[in-house]
Structure 1
Amino acid sequence: MSVTDDPQAYIASIGTALPGDPVDNQDLAARFGIDPDWIEVFIGTRTRHFAVDLDTGTPRQTLAELAALAGHRALAASGVDPDDIGFLVLGTATPDALMPATVNLVADRLGLDHLPTYQLQSGCAGAVQALDLGRTLVTGGGHKAGLVLGGDVCAKHLPLDQDFSRMPASELVNFVLFGDGAGAAVLTAEPTGARLALHRVLNLLTGLGREPGQTVEWFGVADRTSDRQPIREDYKSIEQAVPVMASETLWELLDAQGWSDDDLDFLLPPQLSARMTEKIVAHMDVPAAAEVSCVADTGNTSNALPFMQMARLLDRIETGQKAIGVAIESSKWIKSGYALEKV
């Protein structure tokens, strides 16, 4: 298990970016022939943003563009000199290409050069893995500061030229569940800016011998004619496993930090969908902690979500207050999370 201990890093600022105007359920229903009431009842998401044009399938913004915008906003809000940024880390499941790595395109857009860059390929846990690596680089790598990013453009994996009236609900749900976006955090070795201490980060694979809960294909020349679905989920397994895994992650972080559930002021729960988040929060059962969620407005933006939640947290958290964030990746059952405190 990876649970980092003292010394600690600090989050100086958060930046986020969403592509285009929000797409509400009525707009989505008209485009795909979906009952908007079905979206509300089973998914609970009100709006989401897409980096592709839903009518033409044409890309409007790349992940590199969104991540660079989020990174620029985080840097501008941090008060940190860009010359003090010692590294870039990006967590994503949907890079723009196999090569060059998207993180290097982001660095180029931000005008950053002669510094190490890292790209971590992962689903919903990727942003937390990026925070874990960034924290290690700040606390043990001699860097004053670094930029950690997370984001995904999921819409590019969804084929739009098909008869949605014939599509089973298990496939159709992907068109209403996900959204696109990016987020960024400036990590520092000393408290500055938002002064949010990143006490601990947990990153734990628990999928030995278990079938994946989610698969996202990346078709190449040899198999692009395959009839496999580009995205597949085992929703029954996800609904059963994720609330349990989220609760386990919460208590592992509380125990490692020496906090009780009564010490917790804010909870940043997994953001699969608005309805699933309700179930997860009920299972985690920490009534003293205020929930910080965004998925109902943004859709499931995967690796952007923790940053979007932390952006909302910064508007609410006061000195001395504590928060725990949890992200669960169902692709191969990864538990991840982090402990925060305003100092």
Structure 2
Amino acid sequence: MTPEAIHIVSAGTAVPGAPVDNAALARRFGMSDQWEEWIQVFIGTDTRHLSVDLDSGERRNSLADLGELAARRALDSAGAAPADIDLVVMGTATPDQLLPTTASVIADRLGIDGVPVFQLQSGCTGAFQALTVAHQLLTTGAYRRALVIGGELNEKYFDLGQDFGALRPEQLINYVLFGDGAGAVVLGTDPAQAQATIRLTAARLTGLGRAAGQILEWFGPADRFSDRTPAAEDYKAIEASVPTMSREIRDQLLAELGWAPEDVDYLLPPQLSGRMTRRVVEAIDLLGAKEISCVAQTGNTGNATPFFQLERALELMSPGDKALAISVESSKWIRAGFAIERV
């Protein structure tokens, strides 16, 4: 039987360790007090959580560790056992390994077996794509409950042996912009278990003919000593494009939903940084909606971010409230969003 709607049953999130503030980063990297001020003014991030110990360089958590913890919290909140899950979909740009997939490792740790498990390789819109895939598969009626996971381990791109005083600002920014984390939701077809109903999910490639705004490299035995930069971003292109694309996503979602701007009670905006979030929120122009942001506390956690926002939204929303979530991926310019309504 085809369900009438797909519902969010629960959400869970996980971060590694205690928050790391800007003063701690400045001390570790041997930078001046002015550098700490630069982070505040130009980035707008106060703290982030890292899977690496900055003093020893020891990695304390894998993405599978964080994803498993977030998923267990979502399952516990839903009152669901691993055997209740019919489908697992994960979005990440930084899996622990190419194979086995991190999604499969998490499923195995949870005791989930005999069900489809998908891992989507994508940047900031990967969580939205994972939600879209799970949503569409649930609407077929072939599955009853899905576990959707998103997360990043950005610290793997940190080189703690760098001479930070010699780095240019566009290189330094990666060390202060990002954080590590994971999130998960349980989706279901039973309205009696719903916290919120998904009204729409969307994810579209819009980068035809455009240069990539972000690149993450994979290195194997043949090219591990390549002089290519492991991570590179075109921040000027990102700053110029993300606000406009966010407004375009807003317009697309509202048109497809038949909602007016004043119908939206909560906005979950893109979370590149605190400074960029302010610009994006102004561009989206949903003045009556309450902004739900987490980037100042968590840093940019990529595919974990929407789950941190969603977890907060579910706590705040009252029956009848509507929320829009928006994301832009600069790697090849993907725009995405979803809309939910509190039941």
**TM-score over 0.5 for the pair:** yes
Question: 2:12 maps to which residue?
Answer: 15
User: Structure 1 residues 141, 194: CA separation in 2 closer, same or farther (over 3 Å shift)?
Assistant: closer
Give the superposition deviation at 1:7: 4.2
Give the superposition deviation at 1:195: 2.1
| CA distance in 2: counterparts of 1:260 and 1:312, whole angstroms | 23
CA deviation digits over 1:185-239, x for unaligned, max 9?
A: 0000122445211111110100011000000111111111122221111000000
Question: 2:108 maps to which residue?
Answer: 108
1:267 aligns with 2:267: yes
Over the residues paired in the alignment, what is the CA RMSD in angstroms? Answer: 1.1
Question: 2:121 maps to which residue?
Answer: 121
Question: 2:163 maps to which residue?
Answer: 163
CA deviation digits over 1:161-194, x for unaligned, max 9?
A: 1100000001100000000000000000122445
| Secondary structure of the corresponding residue to residue 13 of structure 2 | strand
Question: 1:215 maps to which residue?
Answer: 215
**Aligned AA for 1:9?**
I
Question: 1:191 maps to which residue?
Answer: 191
Q: How does 1:1-343 map to 2 (within 5 A)?
A: 7-34=4-31, 35-343=35-343
Provide structure 2 residue ranges, at least 5 long, that are not aligned to the other structure.
Answer: none
| CA distance in 2: counterparts of 1:132 and 1:112, whole angstroms | 21
| Secondary structure of the corresponding residue to residue 201 of structure 2 | strand
TM-score by length of 2: 0.96
Provide structure 1 residue ranges, at least 5 long, that are not aligned to the other structure.
Answer: 1-5
CA deviation digits over 1:223-269, x for unaligned, max 9?
A: 11122221111000000000000010011001100000000000000
**Aligned AA for 1:122?**
S
> In 1, are the aligned partners of 2:82 and 2:110 still within 8 Å (CA)?
no
Give the superposition deviation at 1:51: 0.9
| CA distance in 1: counterparts of 2:336 and 2:133, whole angstroms | 13
| CA distance in 1: counterparts of 2:125 and 2:330, whole angstroms | 9
**Aligned AA for 1:236?**
K
| CA distance in 2: counterparts of 1:32 and 1:275, whole angstroms | 22
| CA distance in 2: counterparts of 1:197 and 1:182, whole angstroms | 22
Give the superposition deviation at 1:55: 2.4
**Aligned AA for 2:71?**
G
| Secondary structure of the corresponding residue to residue 305 of structure 1 | helix
> In 1, are the aligned partners of 2:195 and 2:314 still within 8 Å (CA)?
no
> In 2, are the aligned partners of 1:183 and 1:304 still within 8 Å (CA)?
yes
How many residues align structurally?
Answer: 338
Runs of 4+ more than 3 Å apart: none
| Secondary structure of the corresponding residue to residue 339 of structure 1 | strand
| CA distance in 1: counterparts of 2:92 and 2:218, whole angstroms | 14
| CA distance in 2: counterparts of 1:241 and 1:225, whole angstroms | 33
> In 2, are the aligned partners of 1:79 and 1:193 still within 8 Å (CA)?
no
| Secondary structure of the corresponding residue to residue 61 of structure 2 | coil
Give the superposition deviation at 1:312: 0.6
| CA distance in 1: counterparts of 2:232 and 2:213, whole angstroms | 8
**Aligned AA for 1:142?**
A
CA deviation digits over 1:49-82, x for unaligned, max 9?
A: 0111222322110001100000000000012343
**Aligned AA for 1:61?**
N
| CA distance in 1: counterparts of 2:276 and 2:38, whole angstroms | 14
| CA distance in 1: counterparts of 2:114 and 2:59, whole angstroms | 30
> In 2, are the aligned partners of 1:319 and 1:342 still within 8 Å (CA)?
yes
| Secondary structure of the corresponding residue to residue 315 of structure 1 | helix
**Aligned AA for 1:22?**
P
| CA distance in 2: counterparts of 1:129 and 1:28, whole angstroms | 33
**Aligned AA for 2:87?**
F
| CA distance in 2: counterparts of 1:78 and 1:192, whole angstroms | 12
